[in-house]
Amino acid sequence: MIEERDLDAAVAAGILDAATRERLVVFTRDLHRGMAGPDEEQFRLLTGFNDIFVSIAIGLVLFALGSLAGGLGAVAVAAASWGLAEYFTRKRRMALPSIVLLLAFVGAMFGFGLRLQIGLGGETGLNALTGFSVGNPNANITGFLLGGALAAIAAAAHWWRFAVPITIAVGAAAASLLIALLVGSEMASTLGSAAGFELVVALCGFTIFALAMWFDSRDLARVTRRTDVAFWLHLLAAPMIIHPVFAATGLSSGATGPGAALAAVMLYLVLTVLALAIDRRALLVSALGYVIYAINALIGRGDDVSAGFGATALVIGLFLVLLSAAWRPVRGAVLNLLPAGLRARLPVATA
């Protein structure tokens, strides 16, 4: 299938003019309108086994460079990742290697920020992370602030050059880290509890979800790169929304009371209805670990961990299997409950 980047290349080569390119995109979108059902929620991860082969080779090369370069390992990995992306992403357009190279580049820039903190006489990244607690005025988070800022800038530069769909989600994660550390920690210090920090994380999650919905609304037929961008943003938003509930109810600290677990399960059911409405399974997948933990707290059998987890896996597995099998009719029923104006902004339910 021809992608937008292929059309961009055709325009650059003089094969198409810009006006024809736009008309072709609109024609393709209209042609596929109404076909975006649950089986059409696709994202590009593999173009063939060669993607896996190349990704393994890239991983070995980057690991070797990081190990051999010593204190400049992060710089070496970042430079190599960008250089390799010029070929495997910009020219070969290989999906999985492009994702690996992006994560390596942004991760290396984040690591370089932590390394700068060491150079400034601060703690190592690991020690700073171990000593960090929300609302602790003595916590030294300079390295994480530097790393988060560099990671966000790196993601923006990478998107400008290569436009790998996952890039915006990675940049949003880096920006959320900065906001959570700066604003959330200050609110937690003011309130004297971690509630302010968790609130900021939740607000970041809702903001990322809104951004994902904006990308989705620009491509209801899901035939352009925007749908891939939205997929990764949804995958990031769900745990950021549900985690603060875990923290607020005490589940994240081991308080596994039935009321707290039930609240987490109810939130997952709300996410399920939302996922059906917008036709995005990514919301359910990324929050799956939380609901498994919550259900295990509800039906676990004392010290018999294996039996409790087995029952939990059976419950959630049956739920997801049945939901997958009946996704289309259930989604149609959910859409029928929504106002017509809102339904027009969502992918059409197929029979």
Q: Which one-letter amino acid corresponds to residue 230?
A: A
**What are the pLDDT digits (tens) for 158-201?**
999 999 999 999 999 999 999 988 887 777 666 666 677 788 88
Question: In which element (H, E) is residue 161 found?
Answer: helix 142-162
Write out residues in the chain with pLDDT < 50, as ranges.
Answer: 34-39, 125, 130-131, 301-302, 304-305
- Report the pLDDT value the prediction gives residue 152, as an integer from 0 to 100: 96
CA proximity to 290, closest of 313, 320, 268: 268
Q: How far apart are CA 47 and CA 116, in angstroms?
A: 38
- Report the pLDDT value the prediction gives residue 210, as an integer from 0 to 100: 96
CA proximity to 345, closest of 230, 218, 229, 224: 218
- Report the pLDDT value the prediction gives residue 245, as an integer from 0 to 100: 79
Q: How far apart are CA 232 and CA 10, in angstroms?
A: 27
DSSP string covering 9-28:
HHHHTTSS-HHHHHHHHHHH
Please check whether residue 276 is in contact with residue 330, taking contact to mean a CB–CB distance below 8 angstroms: yes
CA proximity to 298, closest of 249, 238, 235: 249
- Report the pLDDT value the prediction gives residue 29, as an integer from 0 to 100: 62
Q: Give me the residue spans of the domains in the chain.
A: 1-32, 45-249, 256-351
302-to-246, 265, 270 alpha-carbon distances in Å: 21, 20, 28
Q: How far apart are CA 80 and CA 206, in angstroms?
A: 35
- Report the pLDDT value the prediction gives residue 305, as an integer from 0 to 100: 47
- Report the pLDDT value the prediction gives residue 134, as an integer from 0 to 100: 55
Q: How far apart are CA 44 and CA 232, in angstroms?
A: 11
Beta bridge partners of 304: 301
Please check whether residue 350 is in contact with residue 279, taking contact to mean a CB–CB distance below 8 angstroms: no
- Report the pLDDT value the prediction gives residue 34, as an integer from 0 to 100: 45
Expressed in angstroms, the distance from the first to the final Cα of the chain is 24
